Amino acid sequence: MLLQPVSRLPLGVPLGGHLLHRSGARLHGPADILTKRHVALMERAGMDEVALLGPLDRLARFEAELRTRDVHVQGLKRGEKLARAVYDVQDRLILDAGQVIDDAAIGALMAHGIAQVRVAKSANELALDQVNTYRNLVRRHVESDEPLGEIGGSKGVDSLRSHVRGLMRAQALAGQATVLALPRDGPPPEEAVPTGAAEERAALARQLHAALVANVNAMLGCAAIHEALTQDDVRVVCELCTRAFAFARPELCAAALQATSESASRATHTVHVMVLSLAQARGMNLPAAGTALLLQGALLHDFGMERVPAVTLAKPGRLTPDEMAEVRRHVTYGLEIADSVEGLDPAVALAIYHSHEEPSGRGYPQGLKTEQTHEAGRLLRTSALFSALNAPRPYRKAMLPFRAMEELLKQSAAGHCDAGAARALVRGIGAYPIGSWVELEDGSQACVQDCAPELPSQPRVLVHAIADVPVEPPRALDCANPGSPQVRRACARPRGLAVVAAP
């Protein structure tokens, strides 16, 4: 801070701290902007010099201001913290900075007629601010006609890479801030879930799915411009997926399946494979270390596709031999991307490299058989194939989930994917996959909610309609209970009905 005589104070600059009269009355607060009236008050009070904020102090104060926001008193939430002290009209302290807002604090503010206060932003708000900042920087690069070197104060592509990386980390931080609200020890017991909690869990699962897709999209952007990923990038996204799966497993499976059936985007496919991999690990009781390795491989398994020409991937007809060879090179590109992640277990790269091998030895890139491949690679092959069957392609429509599962089992019998991995997936998500629709023996139409690993063909469902007549509210039914109607066949989702959580 800079000391300045009152007689030579520059107008329009912020003060460095509280100014108090000898009597103890406050004349000005920190960061108040000086005017002629303020100078006159100080002269009448007999003050000789005051502290002003220097340039670095002003920058620090500005950055601190970005971490706070103004809130109307009626909009205050319990638990928020005041960023600034609050005074009444006679400059007497009402609440000090750092005060945690509670009912008494709100009452004191309203009693003194205070309309607005400044509070500290939450971790999630700060993360979203960072996301918006970097998104705008990247948008400037994409939309501006200026040379790259004149945007953002850096040179050329380095500036763009820096901003894409910043966006990725900010989105990951936003996702991490969200996941902190989830229980660390898995989901609560089913009998302890209060009325309405399942619906809230389904809404949260959709939000977490969207956060995962956004994070993966940002990471794919880095891979596309050959920007190296870090172990923290991988860890944060995998932790978010693991915690979301533990808290809302059926709802997350349903959200991932629905998104995949509606979109062929690489990020949506990647998140679906991550969720399916966790379901496989659950179906075969994979240890924690094996699950973590499998999940990291699921995250990175398709990143090499970012380096394959988009026009080749979008071609509606049959690919030429050269085009097919280029598509198959995505496995090598993916291996290079995984190898570039410092500190990542080398087994993850090996799993990615083996994720297109087949038990029959007719896969690629090396034509290896089952005993020559990594277990995680065999599991990835199965979950990625099932996800691809559920997704629309330029040359075909998306399959119904049950038909996709039938096709997967046929492929495993023909030696195109590992039979044990296919059975693990069936145990994890059911023969009628979570989120798919079925018709029961009594003619009712239901959405599959979950299944026991030992009874994959007898799911727990939510009945939405009987003979196309809606059931309000939807009725929960466990097909494994004696006397309950069994599944007659798989069907498409009835029009006008959406996937919701079981009560």
- The answer, yes or no, to whether residue 19 has pLDDT greater than 50, is no
Calpha distance 379→227 (Å, rounded): 28
In the predicted model, what is the mean pLDDT of residues 4-18?
A: 58
Per-residue confidence band for 378, with pLDDT thresholds at 50, 70 and 90: very high
- Spatial contact of 169 and 126, defined as CB atoms under 8 Å apart: no
Beta carbons within 8 Å of 223's beta carbon, 6+ residues apart: 229, 303, 304, 306, 307, 337
- Higher local confidence (pLDDT), 501 or 90: 90
Q: How far apart are CA 409 and CA 399, in angstroms?
A: 14
At residue 292, the pLDDT reads: 95
Strands (E), 285-382: none
Give pLDDT, residue 20. Answer: 42
Which has the closest alpha carbon to 300: 260, 257, 343, 353?
A: 353
Q: What is the mean pLDDT of residues 18-28?
A: 45
pLDDT tens digits, 340-367: 998 999 999 999 999 999 999 999 999 9
pLDDT at 61 > cutoff 60: no
The confidence score (pLDDT) of residue 194 equals 36
Domains of the chain: which residue ranges? Answer: 1-66, 68-121, 265-429, 437-491
**What number of H helices and E strands is found in the chain?**
17, 13
For residue 434, what pLDDT is reported?
Answer: 92
Residue 22, pLDDT above cutoff 60: no
Q: Which has the minimum average pLDDT: 10-24, 243-257, 423-437? A: 10-24
Burial of 395 (0-12, 13-18, 19+ CB in 10 A): exposed
What is the third-level CATH fold of 68-121? Molybdopterin biosynthesis moea protein, domain 2 (3.90.105)
State the average pLDDT over residues 13-33.
48
pLDDT score for 38:
67
CA 236 to chain centre: 10
Two tokens, residue 187:
């989901």
pLDDT at residue 12 in the model = 59
Q: What is the pLDDT of residue 438?
A: 92
C-alpha span between 18 and 24 (Å, rounded): 11
Instruction: Determine if residue 286 is left, alpha or beta; phi over 0 gives left, psi from -120 to 50 gives alpha, anything else beta.
Output: beta
3-state secondary structure 435-469: CCEEEECCCEEEEEEECCCCCCCCCEEEEEEECCE
What integer is the mean pLDDT of 465-474?
83
| Residue range 265-429 in CATH 2.170.150.20 | no
Tell me what the mean pLDDT of segment 94-115 comes to: 87
pLDDT at 410 over 80: yes
Q: Are 327 and 312 in contact (CB under 8 A)?
A: yes
Q: How far apart are the first and last CA of the chain?
A: 60
Considering only 215-219, 339-343, 389-393, which range has the smallest mean pLDDT? 215-219
Q: Which of 72, 134, 74, 140 is nearest to 107 (CA)?
A: 74
- In the chain, what's the furthest Cα-to-Cα distance? 95
Residues 6+ positions from 49 with CB-CB distance below 8 Å: 3, 4, 5, 6
Q: In this structure, are residues 390 and 257 in contact, taking their beta carbons and an 8 Å threshold?
A: yes
- Distance, CA of 166 to CA of 270 (rounded, Å): 21
User: Distance between CA atoms of 48 and 25, rounded to whole angstroms?
Assistant: 17
Average pLDDT in the chain:
78
Cβ contact 284:369 at 8 Å: no
Q: Beta strands of 109-251 (E only): which ranges?
A: 116-120
Identify the three-state secondary structure at position 95. Answer: strand
Question: Tokens 């990594």 label which residue?
Answer: 374
Per-position DSSP letters for 238-249, written without gaps between them: HHHHHHHHHHSH
pLDDT confidence bin for 21, thresholds 50/70/90 = very low
Q: In terms of Cα–Cα distance, which of 174, 164, 157 is closest to 136?
A: 164
Cis peptide before 5 (omega within 30 of 0): no
What integer pLDDT is reported at residue 322 of this predicted model?
A: 93
The pLDDT of residue 501: 40
Residue 11: predicted pLDDT: 66
Selection from 37-51, 241-255, 488-502 with the highest mean pLDDT: 241-255
CA–CA separation, 483 vs 278, rounded Å? 32
Beta-carbon contacts of 163 under 8 Å, excluding residues fewer than 6 positions away, are 134, 137, 138, 141, 152
Q: Across-strand partners of 451?
A: none
**Confidence bin at 44 (pLDDT 50/70/90):** confident
Task: Tell me the per-residue pLDDT of 127-183, one tens digit each, with 9 for 90 and over.
Answer: 666 666 655 665 565 555 544 444 344 444 455 556 555 555 555 555 543 333 333
Per the CB < 8 A criterion, the answer to whether 347 and 236 are in contact is: no
Please say if the pLDDT value at position 374 is more than 60: yes
Would strands 487-491 and 68-72 be described as parallel, antiparallel, or unpaired?
unpaired
Residue 336 pLDDT: 92
Counting residues of the chain whose pLDDT is more than 90, the rounded percentage is 35
* Same fold? 1-66, 68-121: yes
298-335 tens-digit pLDDT: 999 999 998 998 888 888 888 999 999 999 999 999 99
Q: Which of 86-100, 108-122, 396-410, 483-497 has the highest mean pLDDT?
A: 396-410
Q: What is the mean pLDDT of residues 9-36?
A: 52
Q: Which amino acid is at 68?
A: T
Q: Which residues contact 272 (CB under 8 A, 6 or more apart)?
A: 256, 257, 259, 260, 387, 390
pLDDT confidence of residue 64: 62
Distance CA 487, CA 444 (A): 10
Give me the pLDDT at residue 90, please: 73
Query: φ, ψ for residue 290 (rounded to 5)?
Result: -65, -35
- CA nearest neighbour of 171 among 205, 221, 108: 221
pLDDT score of 17 more than 50: no
Which of 36-40, 272-276, 322-326, 341-345 shows the lowest mean pLDDT across its residues? 36-40
**Contact in structure between 122 and 78 (CB atoms under 8 Å):** no
Distance, in Å, from the CA atom of 297 to the CA atom of 11, rounded to the nearest integer, reads 61
Q: Which of 195-204, 206-215, 387-396, 400-409 has the lowest mean pLDDT?
A: 195-204
Q: Rounded to two decimals, what is the model's pTM?
A: 0.64
What is the separation of C-alpha 441 from the centre of its chain, rounded to a whole number of angstroms?
39
> Taken in order 228, 232, 236, 241, is the CA torsion positive or negative?
positive
Check residues 434 and 158 and name the one with the higher pLDDT: 434
Q: Is the model's pLDDT at 31 over the cut of 50?
A: no
- Check residue 461 and give its pLDDT: 93
What is the mean predicted confidence (pLDDT) over 418-447? 92
SS (H, E, C) 382-407: HHHHHHHHHCCECCECCCCHHHHHHH
**DSSP for 126-140?**
HHHHHHHHHHHHHHH
Q: Which CATH architecture has domain 1-66?
A: Alpha-Beta Complex (3.90)
Instruction: Give the pLDDT score at 106.
Output: 87
Average pLDDT for residues 108-129, to the nearest whole number? 80
With a cut of 70, say whether residue 499 has pLDDT above it: no
Please work out, in degrees rounded to the nearest 5, the angle formed at the alpha carbon of residue 497 by the alpha carbons of 494 and 501. Answer: 120
